[in-house]
Amino acid sequence: MTSTHSPTATPTRDLSRDWKWTPAEKIAARRAFDLALSRELEAVLREAKERAARVGEASELWDLEHWLSERRRRIDRTFDYRYSVLPQVFASLLRDGRLTEDDLLGLAPDKLDAIRHMTPS
């Protein structure tokens, strides 16, 4: 008999797909998401300016373009606001230091516990 779950799925991840988000939690989640995205974009902008200031040859300009494209792809992969994956997004952002638990205030305690559980130390 075949399993309908992927081998890497965990009960917490499966349950997070069925979470119900209250209007207040949706506001808190959007605020946290936008804060993390803003922090990420500020960091990219700062580093891009530093890299651009060091460009001295045309080949270095294309290296900068490649770096920016890669950063954009990584941001697009990381910042996914679908409610079905938002808990994993928050866990990843916590792990990477782009969010703190205080940034997630407003989410229900069970959601916060599950997100903490998904955040590897």
**DSSP assignment of 27-47, as one string?**
HHHHHHHHHHHHHHHHHHHHH
Q: Per-residue confidence at 15, pLDDT binned at 50, 70, 90?
A: low
In a domain, 1, yes or no: no
Distance of CA 32 to the CA centre of its chain: 10
In a domain, 7, yes or no: no
Counted domains in the chain = 1
In a domain, 2, yes or no: no
| pTM of the complete model beyond 0.85 | no
In a domain, 3, yes or no: no
Q: Per-residue confidence at 17, pLDDT binned at 50, 70, 90?
A: low
Q: Per-residue confidence at 119, pLDDT binned at 50, 70, 90?
A: confident
Which structural domain range is residue 80 located in? 21-118
Q: Per-residue confidence at 89, pLDDT binned at 50, 70, 90?
A: very high
The answer to whether residue 42 scores a pLDDT higher than 70 is yes
Average pLDDT over residues 44-51: 98
